């Protein structure tokens, strides 16, 4: 069945525009409570990032769940992966995160985790949507849910993160810059890295409710790059607003993206005999990652874009490492979902073990130039059936002569067709991408 509200990562949109409205979120809390009300006294955990609308939606969710007779535990600002962990450790029956991840402050969303710290199954999301179509009711007063606030959640999650690396590793003498994007990691990430010995220069740790992801963090690492160079730091770490993405900067100021970080972690696991199954990327993963892993003798498979699809393929093939070039990295041997802090720690382990800089570690992978052109379209169409587009795509593939890739896909959130061309020469790739985008525009933009 097609979902009415849920996308690939919960429900997301602009605050004040349906469905990201207080009345909808109140009903969503109630519907969720109805689905989980069989274990009414087993609580549902609620966390949020730092955007101003989180206060409003936290209250709405709390009221809806209570009306359905379900108890609630409130943890306040907490990274999305932190909620996944705390849902397990508090034995909650589900976890809810109020966050729009890397989006600006005027967006928000609701994400869900199962009791095991994984994304909800499709069947559960569909059952929540089914409840949304029913009239809202309130349980008898003696059965209403109660809410309690958890005061030590941040400390618990800090200890969990540190526990994902060997305790004998001391990073004293290392100077790093950590950019928390004025988001949910502002009161967590700096302490994690300081407590393993590093000297930390903090960026993006003063959230106002309006500055989350604003010219900072994983989606805009320029501020981090400048800080690394200015402070002669060993490297920099950029997280996004809800802490599930990671981008790094080496000591030369070069950006190290998700594909390169996956390569570093994969090689580290391989060298220590700790890897199993294929490494999972997406259709957008750089061809250089695939080739570098192949040289290591590691299998690589591509999932559809989105961490949910990466997780599904990891489960299907019994893999333990996967992710996206955007920096969403899943280390299933350490946790149950993408976690920017945990991923950064795994890279630091390899730096310590190999005695090499981040710049040296990433050199084992050669990235292919990759150009992405977004074409705004007026009508949706099955691209495979648009003959001129397919003919142009075939022409570009022949010009690449087996040394590149072409990808056409419709955006899941905007009226866009994404045209991606990848190859050995940047000028050629740019020319071919623009040529193909022009054909897509001519055929579908009117």
Q: Is residue 368 within 8 Å of residue 260, measured between CB atoms?
A: no
Which residue from 104, 120, 47, 21 is spatially nearest to 336, judged by alpha carbons? Answer: 120
Alpha-carbon dihedral angle through residues 267, 270, 272, 274, given to the nearest 10 degrees: 120
Residue in the block written with tokens 């710290």: 117
Report DSSP letters for 282-334, one per residue.
Answer: ETTS-HHHHHHHHHTT--EEEEPSSHHHHHHHHHHTT--EEE-TTS-EEETTT
Which residue from 444, 446, 368 is spatially nearest to 411, judged by alpha carbons? Answer: 444
Which residue from 68, 310, 354 is spatially nearest to 301, judged by alpha carbons? Answer: 310
Q: Is residue 322 within 8 Å of residue 303, measured between CB atoms?
A: yes
What phi and psi, each to the nearest 5 degrees, are found at residue 313?
-75, -35
E strand or H helix at 65: helix 54-67
Q: Which residues fall within 8 angstroms of residue 424, CB to CB, at 6 or more apart?
A: 368, 369, 403, 404
Report DSSP letters for 16-43, one per residue.
Answer: TSTTSSHHHHHHHHHHHHHHHGGGTTS-
What angle, 0 to 180 degrees and rounded to 10, lies between the N-to-C axes of helices 340-354 and 80-89? 100
Distances 85 to 92, 96, 183, 236 between C-alpha atoms, Å: 10, 12, 18, 25
Which residue from 215, 180, 220 is spatially nearest to 50, judged by alpha carbons? Answer: 180
Q: Is residue 35 within 8 Å of residue 131, measured between CB atoms?
A: yes
In the DSSP assignment, the letter for residue 6 is: -
Q: How far apart are CA 205 and CA 212, in angstroms?
A: 10
Q: Which residue of the set 53, 99, 101, 285 is catalytic? A: 101
What phi and psi, each to the nearest 5 degrees, are found at residue 65?
-65, -45
Q: How far apart are CA 395 and CA 309, in angstroms?
A: 30
Residue 59 falls in the annotated catalytic set: no
What is the three-state SS of 326-372? CCCEEECCCCCCCCHHHHHHHHHHHHHHHCCCHHHHHCCCCCCCEEE
Residue numbers annotated as active site: 101
């Amino acid at each position: 069945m097609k979902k009415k509200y849920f996308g690939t990562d919960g429900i997301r949109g602009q605050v004040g525009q349906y469905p990201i409205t207080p009345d909808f979120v109140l009903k969503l809390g109630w519907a969720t409570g109805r689905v989980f009300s069989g274990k009414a006294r087993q609580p549902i955990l609620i966390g949020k990032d730092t955007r101003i609308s989180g206060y409003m939606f936290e209250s709405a969710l709390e009221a809806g769940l209570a009306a359905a007779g379900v108890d609630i535990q409130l943890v306040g600002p907490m990274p999305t992966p932190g909620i996944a962990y705390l849902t397990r450790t508090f034995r909650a029956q589900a976890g809810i995160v109020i966050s729009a991840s890397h989006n600006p402050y005027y967006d928000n969303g609701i994400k869900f985790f199962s009791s095991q710290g994984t994304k909800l199954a499709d069947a559960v999301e569909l059952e929540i949507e089914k409840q949304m179509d029913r009239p809202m009711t309130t349980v008898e007063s003696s059965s209403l849910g109660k809410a309690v606030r958890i005061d030590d959640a941040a400390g618990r999650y800090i200890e969990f993160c540190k526990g994902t690396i060997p305790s004998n590793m001391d990073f004293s003498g290392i100077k790093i810059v950590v950019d928390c994007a004025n988001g949910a990691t502002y009161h967590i990430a700096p302490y994690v890295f300081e407590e393993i010995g590093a000297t930390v220069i903090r960026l993006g740790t003063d959230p106002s409710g309006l500055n989350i992801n604003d010219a900072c963090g994983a989606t805009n690492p320029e501020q981090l790059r400048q800080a690394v160079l200015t402070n002669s730091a060993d490297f920099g770490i950029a997280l996004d607003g809800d802490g599930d993405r990671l981008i790094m900067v080496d000591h030369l100021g070069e950006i190290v993206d998700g594909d390169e970080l996956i390569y570093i972690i994969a090689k580290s696991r391989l060298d220590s005999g700790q890897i199993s199954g294929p490494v999972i990327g997406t259709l957008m993963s750089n061809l250089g990652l695939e080739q570098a892993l192949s040289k290591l003798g590691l299998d690589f498979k591509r999932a559809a874009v989105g961490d949910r699809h990466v997780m599904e393929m990891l489960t299907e093939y019994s893999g333990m490492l996967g992710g996206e070039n955007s920096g969403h990295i899943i280390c299933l041997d350490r946790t149950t979902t993408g976690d920017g802090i945990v991923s950064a720690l795994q890279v630091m382990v390899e730096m310590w073990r190999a005695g090499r800089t981040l710049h040296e570690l990433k050199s084992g992978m050669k990235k292919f130039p990759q150009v992405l052109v977004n074409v705004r379209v007026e009508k949706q169409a099955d691209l495979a059936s648009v003959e001129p587009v397919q003919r142009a795509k075939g022409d570009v593939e022949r010009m690449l002569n087996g040394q590149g890739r072409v990808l056409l896909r419709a955006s899941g959130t905007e009226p866009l067709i994404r045209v991606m061309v990848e190859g050995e020469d940047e000028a050629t790739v740019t020319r071919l991408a623009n040529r193909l985008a022009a054909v897509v525009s001519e055929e579908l933009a009117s």
